[in-house]
Chain A
């Protein structure tokens, strides 16, 4: 495995003429046991990269569905140790790239170096820290790189080219393009300006560009042909699982 693993996974999908699928589920959701079953099922049913949420008490970038799911996990006593230990146990069976998504404080308390080391050992390929903009993430990005873990840049509709350049300079993995000026949560339609933004991101980044926040069904991507290399979906998947339906069924729609 190497730091290019996430980019490779997405590029493989691209080579097959499809958009890479990146489902998101908070660690420990809907419960401790079911969680790993869902992860394996997502993996077997076409996930190219799987994003596991690291629950935090104060998730400012998340909408109501992801927040409620994360808070439930916290109430169940899920922590980083549990997620990393479980991942170590299951990693060999998972073909997809693994991404952890969360907020800075729990990682900071775990210890940045220890986290990087343990995450590497558990087979994590990349990390998204929602509240770590470029400037605050410089040292951590370097540390993670030593452990072969990508710190995924998040940009969006209001990110000027100068700031995209910053992220692109030492960005690895893929660029996460946030589809809306807002929080996570599925929406019926995506803003029109998104095309221009994605085009710009495709020009500036030489890693793949994935779109996330607000995705609900594949038809949303139809008009974005050629601009999106990967699609991330969280709230829609959580809702689907809450309705008692299977991950396999969810993935089928997207394949």
Chain B
């Protein structure tokens, strides 16, 4: 009777008052998302609005240095500058076809908020975005973008005033506004059916990457790599490759400052099993089950939990999950800027950094595809701060 499990992880740990909208959403996925009408319109929007397919870029300069081939799946080239928009356009279209006039979302770094506000504007939906008060301060640029797009951005003052509290606030709002509102969840986590719904919309990344790579080389890649916050860009890249057992799959979590005992954002590596935000997953938590604050220099990775499917892939040994600290991510960021002319998001820089840090374990001539989940314009302030404090 329990639904939405990936092995031991997942589920629907929500107040009973949220079960009706979750069941309604599940039904909409069955009926509406499978219809030709939905699929045709979604495909059209991905092409004409989002700008898909995004490029698959060979990094010739860095590859020469590494001795193997580094490829980037360029989600930074998608509209609004990150993979988030694949999901929000999908969920907004679903909302429209469900006959609901309003979208609700949470955001940490602001990328998902901007992507939701964008999709809402496109499809003429009202939009309200919950954002931790601390993040509102850290990411004021994205708050302004959301407001320009017509969304209302609500600062969340409770708890740690970050992403996890924004999710709590959005869930609360959804309880009271469920009849008119869809909760456009931003990552492949949360209660069932969100992990499946978001994976469905993001798996376009892996499908395109596989087809593009096959067209260029006639083969499958040796390895695919992606950063893991909640896990949506990663599961989007991985899904198409899970059945291709020759392809190694690597997710990269944020180790924070990397100092022993520091708070981090690496629940698969450093967390324990527990229940938060509607799912049974791995969490950063105290022995008493209180959720701990997380840290990463990349705001989009700064979350104490992770999507349940990743925990399962880790559990069964199909995917490997490594960690990268703030400093390593910064180095990768700068390297990609200077050697390839690409300014990556700090989140994606973690994935690139893992490849650089683990170069010795990757065979010569191998082909490695890294999902470049977004572009780094949003991170300029953080970068400048960091460089000022770590002047060489």
Contacts and interface: CB of A to CB of B under 8 A. Distances in A.
Interface of A: 56-61, 63-64, 67-68, 71, 74, 79-80, 103-110, 130-136, 138, 153-156, 158-160, 163, 178, 180-183
B202 interface: no
A159 B275 contact: no
A131 B291 contact: no
The 9 tightest CB contacts between A and B, nearest first, are A109-B289, A106-B289, A182-B176, A105-B289, A57-B290, A61-B15, A57-B291, A105-B275, A158-B20
Interface residues of B, number: 35
B276 A105 contact: yes
Nearest to B160: A57
Contacts of A132: 13
B164 interface: yes
Contacts of B288: 79-80, 106, 109-110
Contacts of B285: 105, 109
Contact of A58 (B14, B164, B175): B164
Of B13, B171, B274, B290, most buried by chain A (CB within 10 Å of CB) is: B13
Contact of A135 (B2, B275, B278): B2
B285 to A, nearest CB: 7
B105 to A, nearest CB: 16
B278 A131 contact: yes
Interface in B131-162: 158-159
A107 B19 CA distance: 21
Interface of B: 1-3, 11-17, 19-20, 158-159, 164-165, 168, 171-172, 175-176, 178-179, 274-278, 283, 285, 287-291
Given A60-B171, A181-B175, A183-B172, A74 B290 contact: yes
B12 A133 contact: yes
A12 to B, nearest CB: 27
Contacts, number: 111
Contact of B274 (A80, A105, A135, A160): A105
A181 B181 CA distance: 13
Contacts of A134: 16
Contacts of B178: 158, 181
Contacts of B158: 64, 67-68, 71
15 contacts: A57-B159, A57-B290, A58-B165, A58-B168, A59-B168, A106-B289, A109-B285, A131-B278, A136-B13, A158-B20, A158-B178, A178-B17, A181-B179, A182-B172, A183-B175
A64 to B, nearest CB: 7
A109 B276 CA distance: 12
Of B19, B159, B171, most buried by chain A (CB within 10 Å of CB) is: B19
A154 B159 contact: no
A136 B159 contact: no
B6 to A, nearest CB: 15
A80 to B, nearest CB: 7
A163 B16 contact: yes
A107 B275 CA distance: 10
B342 to A, nearest CB: 37
Of A67, A136, A160, most buried by chain B (CB within 10 Å of CB) is: A136
Nearest to B169: A60
B12 A60 contact: no
Contacts of A135: 1-3, 12
Given A130-B15, A180-B176, A104 B20 contact: no
Given A181-B175, A182-B176, A133 B289 contact: no
Contacts of A64: 158
Given A60-B277, A159-B17, A183-B172, 14 more contacts: A56-B290, A57-B159, A67-B158, A80-B288, A105-B275, A105-B283, A105-B289, A105-B291, A107-B289, A108-B274, A133-B15, A135-B12, A155-B16, A156-B16
